[in-house]
Each structure stands twice: as C-alpha cells, then as structure tokens.
C-alpha cells in the first residue's frame, strides 16, 4: 500500500523561513471553512477491523506529521476514517507497523492516557467554540480513555485536560501481522452540541501517536506552535452534520456504602488524643438528564467520595496556603464551564471549599448542576448543600457562570456569581467579569474584575467600590515559536475574600511574567526545539508600596526528538517578611528583608520508554541560610498488567548563624495491577517526614461497564515517630474500610 507523501516544511534553509511558514500554516488553520462529514451508507459491526462496505465508501483523512519533524511524511502508513449516522459519530483507524511485535499497550486501566503506548484519538469541539473539547482515545489494548479539554489547551502548569470526565461510548480493537486496528462509536446522546436548522457544526482533530519514534500524525495539519497543539480546539477542522436525531436519555445511579473506621483527635484541653469509632451505612443517588442536545441536568443526594485517592502530601516552604487539585468526580465533570482563573493558583471558584474543611470531609446532603448552552451563551449553574460539622454550620454554596463569543470566534466575555450562606447568618457573595480577546494572530488580551461582599464588611461598614476587589489585565502570545510573552498586572485589595475561591495573598499589586524566544534548530541530530526566556514578577504591598516578593532570572527549556524534555534556570529572589513563619518547630523564617538566589533544573526522560523518570534539583541560598532540593520520579511499565511508580523529594535547609535546620522528605510509591479492562487494583503509600505521617491506600475497582462500579477501599494512617510530638500521637492514627457499589439505570 503506497504511503502518502508530503514535503517537509523545514528540511533545510533558515530558521526565519521556517518560522514564516509556520505562521502561514497557523493562519490558514484559523481561516478554514467547514467540511461536511460523510454519512455512513450501511451497517457497522464494532469489531475493530473496519472492513465493511460502509467503511470502504468513506474517504481516509490526509495525515501529516506534527512531530518530531513537522510536515514530513509519516514513517508508518495509517488510514483514519470518520463518518456518522443519525445516532452516533464513528471513527476507525488502520495503523500499520513495520515492527508489530513491539506494539505498545502497557495498561488496561480505564482513562489511563499513557504516552508510552501506541494511541489513536479523536477530539471533538462539540459547541464549535474554539475553547473547549471532548477527547476519546484508545490503544492496542482497547482501553477507553475520555477527557475534557479546556482553555484552548493553553497552560503554564498542569495539563489542560480533565481525565475524570466520563461518558458512554464504545471501542473495539484488533491486530494482525501488519499492525493494529480500532473502531469507535460515540453516540450523539453522550455529547452536548447545538443543532441549528437541522445542521450541527463541530471542530475535529484526529491523531495517531507512535511512542517508539515519538511520532504524531494528525488531521488537520497542526504546526508545533503549542505544547498541547494536538488537543487545541482552535486548531480543529470545522465539520458539519445533517439529520442528527435528538436524544435526551436519563441516567439514574444509586449507590450503597458500608464502612467502618476509627480516628484519633485531640481533646478539648489538647492534652491527649482520644479514639473515636464510626460505622457507615449510606445510600445515595445521582441523576443525569439531557434536557436537550445542548443542556444537561445533574442531581445528587447524599454525595459520597469514599473511592477518591488521598491527596499527595506536600512540604510547604512558603508562608502561604498550598493549592491541592480537585479529585472528586462530581466536581471535575464539565468543570471547565465554571473555570474563572485570575492568574497563578488563584481561583474565583475552587470546588474544594465544598465538602472539605480543615478538620476533614463534610457531608454533602445534595445538590444540582445545570450546564450547556442557551442561545449564544455557555451556561453553568451549581448549587450544593452541606450538613453541619463540628467546626462549620450547615451551608449552601451556589455558582452561576455565563460566557459567550464576542468580536471573533476566538474571543469571549462573561461573568460569574458565587454565594456561600451558613444557617448561622454568615454569608459571602462574589461577582466577576472576564474577557479573553484575540487581538490579532496569536496575541490575546485577558481581563478580569472580581468583587466580594460578606457580612463582616457590612457589619463594620467597610464596603466601598474598591476595597474588596481583584482585577487583572494580561497580554500574551500563544505560540512557542518566535518571540513570546506573557505580561500582566493585577491588584488584590485588603478585604477581597472569595469564600468558595482560592486566594493565598491579599492587599498587593503584581507585575510580571515572562518574555521568550523559541525556535526549531535546523538539522539538529537530537534537539527538536528550545526556548530562552526571561522570567520576572514583583508583588508590592498596597498599604505602603513596599516590594513584598520578587523573582527574576533567565531560563532555558528544550524538547528532544526522542520525546524527552527539560528546563534549566537561575533566579534571584526578594522577600520582605512582615511576620515570622515556621517551617517546623526547629526552623523559623525571621521578620525582615531577604535577598537570595538559586539554580534549578528538570529533566524528563522520553515518555515512550517503558522505564522513564523525571529528575529535579534546586540549590542556592534561602533567606539567611541555604537550601538544596532533589527530586526523582521513576515510573516502570512492567507489562500491561503491572505499573510501578515512585516519587521522592528531599529538602535540606540550614541556617548556620542561627543554628537552625529543616529536613523535609516526601516519599510516594504507587503500584497498579490490572487483570483486564474491568478489574484493577491500586496501592498508594506516602511518607512525610515533616509530620512523621505514613498514609496507605488500597483501592480495588470492578467496572464491567460504564456507570457500574464496585469499590473496596482500605485507608491506614500511621505515625512513624509518635513520640516526637507533645502530646504523643498514637502509632495507628486512623483506619477506614469501605465497600461501595453503584449501578446506572438508563431510563
């Protein structure tokens, strides 16, 4: 079978020419017109082979290499077809391989997106908004992995997609001596979209990933101008459907939970730890109903998250609160609609404020969520009611989010309102306005305005137009090639308090972030791309204009053709500490102005390897002492049934003149065993030397089909050094055993 050929964009010639070609390709993507998707002419049997006459009448998509060398012809032949009938979207792939014996299929776990595996994916921007999308992915093992993409796959932190989003769809795979094959069926009832005059328009990206060569081929042609370009909705090919049959299914999912636990808590006098025991017999209910093709209602009663893995322990070397990601499924599903980020870790809505307190979990009595599109508006509504606990009253939490396209198809404006009411009379309300404007090309302007109100300000008569606000203005270029920048200014005033948000600092003005230049070196044997950047940010106290925190310095980031990546940098820091804070009982950061500096680096070995690792380091002065941090994160895919990973970080801090020191060690080990695509067992053990705590979690899951789950969860909390604290802690601090079963009825 003859392989399609394309001419490489940058096989030779100057970097300037290459950059110009990439810019033209990017511009052509933005200007593309909608293409009608082919309709199936016959029946499809979902068995992976895609050899029916109905498939043969569908034209294969033209694929182009995106990486490691953009524009080259694929080194292995692939045939990807996408079509539809009145009930579903179908995607098939025939992936030929010259070394079939070494096909990678290292896991059988649902949602385990692994860059060490051969992969086939289809991304659908179902509302055609160039900002959000849904992804469906499989491997030669036939796993089902689905995820939600948000923020046009742009991020400077964690990956811009959420793998906890799940829906109902099917996949089948097969293989022979020539390669592997896959078929997907994605019902329209599992997607939310807008049907106008019997026509549905979406964006679509399909790709094949070959891990042994770190090779990705895509449709449409996607230039390597973004770290997550193969998932960017704004790069998707516009497609259209006709004659799609509306479907409004309802899903009823009750659960039953049995459990037993004990814990130790300090008594009121704080002189001893007292043991308390609890037996759990719980029932709850989730209900999902598609009010229309573009609007979904979710209801929940007595919501429980017993099957959620424990948070990763962290060592806090700052005077600010740590940010922990949300792991609870109910709050992650379609969470992008509620996203109202205002820069860095700050959030106007942070779902961990619901059902979690400093003392532990708080019972959620019930709630409702309504998400989708109403006319030209993206719409999200959430309301949750929690029970009273020892430290909190019964509370009601509400969120309303609206946004719509303005000016052009890549620009948005919207707003958010959040409320938190306690039955003790306490309340907090926040409103916010935001906009993302595509000014020209890859240049975007981002603006936020948020204001909070609560009962304490009203009682003290301190409410005015500006003393409880956060405002931000940011300009950025969303392209890793050529000159890049991310520059902005933000202000947070003294009484700003988003009670269901996250805002670690108050009463400051910040200016920053970075300017950079990235390029693809010509004919380099191992380097794919690299970027030089200058990072600088300053936090100034509003009260007196004093610089409270500052950081500046150069950095170098690179990607290798084999799939590895890394960064190295040097930074100078300034901290003006108004009040001393503790790293531990034996180490305190004193009041005053501090200048210090350090080097830091990271290297991630190629993800395509079965044995891979990430290594980090940081060393230099630290306030009036010095600090060295080393971390290693190995991962070993032993087989498709076993995966072992670990994480170790050591923080060594010394203040010689004050004869103080701090050693903080974090260790984690994860082991995952998968018998087949239905049965999995995972263990997670972690140790934090700062608290002397050892946490152990074992989770067994049986998932015969979507929406039908049986969980067995065992949690153990142990104090490795119980005598180092006063009063002495118990050796076995806590234990919980939980059995949970949930079943989904399709109504």
Query: CATH number, domain at 31?
Result: 2.60.40.1190
The answer as to whether 538 is a domain residue is: no
Q: What's the whole-number mean pLDDT along residues 496-523?
A: 90
Distance CA 61, CA 55 (A): 13
Same domain (yes/no): 226, 362: no
Same domain (yes/no): 325, 222: no
- In this prediction, residue 692 carries a pLDDT of 87
Band of residue 462 on the pLDDT scale cut at 50, 70, 90: low
pLDDT at 20 over 60: no
pLDDT at 598 over 50: yes
- In this prediction, residue 624 carries a pLDDT of 93
Band of residue 170 on the pLDDT scale cut at 50, 70, 90: very high
Residue 605, both tokens = 């070995």
Percent of the residues in the chain that have a pLDDT greater than 70, as a whole number: 94
**CB neighbours of 44 closer than 8 A, spacing ≥ 6?**
52, 54, 55, 90, 183, 185
Same domain (yes/no): 340, 437: yes
pLDDT at 13 over 70: no
- In this prediction, residue 12 carries a pLDDT of 38
Beta bridge partners of residue 381, listed in sequence order: 370, 400
**Residue range 668-701, pLDDT digits in tens:** 999 999 888 889 999 999 999 888 889 999 999 9
The answer as to whether 589 is a domain residue is: no
Same domain (yes/no): 382, 471: yes
- In this prediction, residue 335 carries a pLDDT of 78
Q: What's the whole-number mean pLDDT along residues 304-333?
A: 79
Would you say 366 and 303 are in contact if contact means Cβ atoms under 8 Å apart?
yes
Last residue of a domain, one of 476, 506, 536: 506
Same domain (yes/no): 480, 335: yes
Same domain (yes/no): 82, 178: yes
Distance CA 396, CA 354 (A): 9
- In this prediction, residue 415 carries a pLDDT of 95
**Residue range 42-60, pLDDT digits in tens:** 999 999 999 999 999 999 9
**CB neighbours of 304 closer than 8 A, spacing ≥ 6?**
255, 257, 282, 284, 740
Residue 712, both tokens = 């067995």
Q: What's the whole-number mean pLDDT along residues 93-116?
A: 87
3-state secondary structure of 14: coil
Last residue of a domain, one of 472, 506, 540: 506
Number of domains in the chain: 2
Pairing of strands 547-560, 527-541: antiparallel
Band of residue 294 on the pLDDT scale cut at 50, 70, 90: confident
Cis-peptide, bond into residue 305, ω within 30° of zero: no
- In this prediction, residue 32 carries a pLDDT of 63
Same domain (yes/no): 190, 328: no
Q: What's the whole-number mean pLDDT along residues 410-414?
A: 91
The distance in angstroms from the start CA to the end CA of the chain is: 47
The answer as to whether 87 is a domain residue is: yes
Residue 346, both tokens = 């700050």
**Residue range 217-270, pLDDT digits in tens:** 999 999 888 878 899 999 999 999 988 876 788 899 999 999 999 988 888 888
- In this prediction, residue 327 carries a pLDDT of 77
Q: What is the mean pLDDT of the chain?
A: 88
φ/ψ of residue 24, rounded to 5: -65, -40
**Residue range 345-395, pLDDT digits in tens:** 888 999 889 988 877 788 999 999 999 888 888 899 999 999 998 788 999
- In this prediction, residue 609 carries a pLDDT of 81
Cα distances (Å, whole numbers) of residue 329 to 305, 658, 695:
8, 47, 22
Same domain (yes/no): 46, 183: yes
The answer as to whether 492 is a domain residue is: yes
pLDDT at 620 over 90: yes
- In this prediction, residue 29 carries a pLDDT of 54
The answer as to whether 59 is a domain residue is: yes
The answer as to whether 672 is a domain residue is: no
pLDDT at 654 over 50: yes
Biggest CA pair distance of the chain: 81
- In this prediction, residue 8 carries a pLDDT of 39
Range of the domain at 343: 320-506
- In this prediction, residue 552 carries a pLDDT of 96
- In this prediction, residue 107 carries a pLDDT of 84
- In this prediction, residue 528 carries a pLDDT of 85
Selection from 91, 135, 126 nearest residue 203 by Cα: 126
pLDDT at 2 over 50: no
The answer as to whether 419 is a domain residue is: yes
pTM above 0.85, yes or no: no
Last residue of a domain, one of 506, 527, 560: 506
Determine how many CB atoms are found less than 10 A away from the CB of residue 59.
9
The answer as to whether 530 is a domain residue is: no
Q: Write the burial class of residue 638 (CB in 10 Å: 0-12 exposed, 13-18 middle, 19+ buried).
A: middle
Same domain (yes/no): 337, 213: no
């Amino acid at each position: 079978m003859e392989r399609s050929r394309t001419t490489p964009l940058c096989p030779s010639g100057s970097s300037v020419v290459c950059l110009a070609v990439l810019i033209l390709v990017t511009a052509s993507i933005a200007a593309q017109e909608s293409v009608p998707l082919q309709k199936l002419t016959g029946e499809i049997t979902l068995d992976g082979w895609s050899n029916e006459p109905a498939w043969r009448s569908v034209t294969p998509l033209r694929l182009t290499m995106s990486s490691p060398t953009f524009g080259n012809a694929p080194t292995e032949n692939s045939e990807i077809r996408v079509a539809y009938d009145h009930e579903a979207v179908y995607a098939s792939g025939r992936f030929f391989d010259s070394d079939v014996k070494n096909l990678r299929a290292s896991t059988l776990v649902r949602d385990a997106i692994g860059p060490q595996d051969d992969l086939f994916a289809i991304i659908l921007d179902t509302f055609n908004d160039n900002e959000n999308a849904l992804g469906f992915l499989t491997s030669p093992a036939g796993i089902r992995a689905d995820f939600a993409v948000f923020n046009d796959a742009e991020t400077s932190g964690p990956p811009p997609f959420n793998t906890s989003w799940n829906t109902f769809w099917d996949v089948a795979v097969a293989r022979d001596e020539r390669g592997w094959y896959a078929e997907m069926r994605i019902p329209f009832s599992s997607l939310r979209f807008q049907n106008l005059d019997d026509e549905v328009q979406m964006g679509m990206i399909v790709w094949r990933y070959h891990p042994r060569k770190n090779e990705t081929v895509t449709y449409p042609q996607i230039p390597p101008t973004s770290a997550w370009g193969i998932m960017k909705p704004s790069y998707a090919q516009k497609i259209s459907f006709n004659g799609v049959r509306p479907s409004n299914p309802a899903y009823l999912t009750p659960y039953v939970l049995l459990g037993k636990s004990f814990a130790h808590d300090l008594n009121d006098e704080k002189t001893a730890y007292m043991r308390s025991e609890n037996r759990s017999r719980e029932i709850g209910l989730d209900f999902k109903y598609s009010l229309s093709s573009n609007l979904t209602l979710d209801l929940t009663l007595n919501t429980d998250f017993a099957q959620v893995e424990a948070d990763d322990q962290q060592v806090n070397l700052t005077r600010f609160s740590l940010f922990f990601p949300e792991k609870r499924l109910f709050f992650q599903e379609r969470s992008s609609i509620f996203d109202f980020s205002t820069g860095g870790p700050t959030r106007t809505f942070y779902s961990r404020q619901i059902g979690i307190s400093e003392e532990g979990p708080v019972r959620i009595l019930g709630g409702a969520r309504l998400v989708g599109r109403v006319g030209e508006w993206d719409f999200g509504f959430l309301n949750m009611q929690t029970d009273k606990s020892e430290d909190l009253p019964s509370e009601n939490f509400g969120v309303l989010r609206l946004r719509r396209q303005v000016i052009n198809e890549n620009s948005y404006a919207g707003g958010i309102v959040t409320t938190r009411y306690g039955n003790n009379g306490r309340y907090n309300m926040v409103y916010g306005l935001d906009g993302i404007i595509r000014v020209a090309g890859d240049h975007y302007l981002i603006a936020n305005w948020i204001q909070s109100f609560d009962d304490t300000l009203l009682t003290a008569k301190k409410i005015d137009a500006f003393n409880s606000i956060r405002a931000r203005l940011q300009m950025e270029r969303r392209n890793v090639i050529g000159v890049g920048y991310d520059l902005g200014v933000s202000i947070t005033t003294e009484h700003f308090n988003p009670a269901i948000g996250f805002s670690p600092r108050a009463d400051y003005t910040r200016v920053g972030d970075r300017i950079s230049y990235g390029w693809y070196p010509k004919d380099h044997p191992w380097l794919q791309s690299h970027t030089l950047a200058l990072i600088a940010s300053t936090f100034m106290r509003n009260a007196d204009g004093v610089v409270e925190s500052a950081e500046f310095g150069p950095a170098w980031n690179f990607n290798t053709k084999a799939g590895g990546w890394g960064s190295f940098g040097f930074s100078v820091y300034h901290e003006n500490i108004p009040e001393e804070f503790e790293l531990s009982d034996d180490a305190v950061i004193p009041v005053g102005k501090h200048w210090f500096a350090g080097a830091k680096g990271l290297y991630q070995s190629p993800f395509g390897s079965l044995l891979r690792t990430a290594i980090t380091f940081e060393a230099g002065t630290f306030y009036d002492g010095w600090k060295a941090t080393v971390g290693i994160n190995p991962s070993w895919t032993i087989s498709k049934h076993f995966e072992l990973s670990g994480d170790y970080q050591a923080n060594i801090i010394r203040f010689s003149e004050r004869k103080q020191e701090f050693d903080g060690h974090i260790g984690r080990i994860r082991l995952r065993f998968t018998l087949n695509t239905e049965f999995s067992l995972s263990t997670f053990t972690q140790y934090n030397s700062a608290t002397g705590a050892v946490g152990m979690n074992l989770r067994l899951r049986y998932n015969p089909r979507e929406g039908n789950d049986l969980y067995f969860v065992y949690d153990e909390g142990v104090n490795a050094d119980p005598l180092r604290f006063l009063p002495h802690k118990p050796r076995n601090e806590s234990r919980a055993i939980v059995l949970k079963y949930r079943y989904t009825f399709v109504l």
